[in-house]
Amino acid sequence: MADFAALRRTMVDTQVRPADVTDRDLIQAMLDTPREVFLPRASAGLAYLDLDLPVGGSGRRLLQPMVLAKMVQALRLTPDDKVLDVGCATGYTAAVLSQLAGSVVALEEEGDLCNAARTTLAETRNVEVVQGRLIEGHAAGAPYNAILVEGAIAIEPEALCRQLVDGGRLMCIFGTGPAAKATLYQRDGNDMTRQSIFDASAPQLPGFSKPAAFVF
């Protein structure tokens, strides 16, 4: 039987820390969160590989641990923050975020994944799992201090940015293929700044594709 606690430690020591992730609370949250619980049972043994891992739905995956850790660290979360987790899938990231922020709204649009997240997060009191279109966010719970988008997007996240407080931050992977970047948006009044943080790739989330170009 796999020693999942030892595998979590190895994941943090060989994937997360070497990627300049220094936030102690984040590192502890990743050590304390059993990633295998959020995967299909047959895939549990793959939980701590340096990969995006499939969880079902329409090609949905858990983000690569190093990429996830760097994105969360860039959000600079505090215990008073309210966070929107867009594309929560089976709930792993929401479980990590719940240990860093005051409250988390975990948004998922695929019914099977939403039900799975409700099951895995049932005992996590500061997480609310909601179902809805990812691109629209969850305005009923706004405003948020931080938003994490769990996948690649090819269009500006305008509706999500409108759900941020003044000074709020949004992290996503913008673009597709080798040109994609983990990108930080920050709200300043009615304006948004955008900064590329590091190279990253991830499967594209539903609803965030560019419209097909018109051809004569």
Which CATH number belongs to the domain containing residue 73 in this structure? 3.40.50.150
213 within some domain: no
117 within some domain: yes
The answer on pLDDT for 216 being more than 90 is: no
209 within some domain: no
Domain count, the chain: 1
* pLDDT, tens digit (0-9, with 9 covering 90-100), for 89-110: 999 999 999 999 999 999 999 9
210 within some domain: no
Long-range contacts of 155-161 (CB under 8 A, 24+ apart): 155/208, 155/209, 155/210, 157/185, 157/208, 159/135, 160/84, 160/86, 160/135, 161/185, 161/187, 161/192
* pLDDT, tens digit (0-9, with 9 covering 90-100), for 35-94: 999 999 999 999 999 999 999 888 899 999 999 999 999 999 999 999 999 999 999 999
Please report the beta strands in the chain, taking only residues with DSSP state E, as ranges in sequence order.
53-56, 60-62, 82-86, 103-108, 127-131, 144-153, 164-174, 181-188, 191-199
Distance CA 155, CA 54 (A): 23
Full-model pTM: 0.95
45 within some domain: no
214 within some domain: no
List the domain range (segments joined by +) for residue 87. Answer: 4-39+52-199
103 within some domain: yes
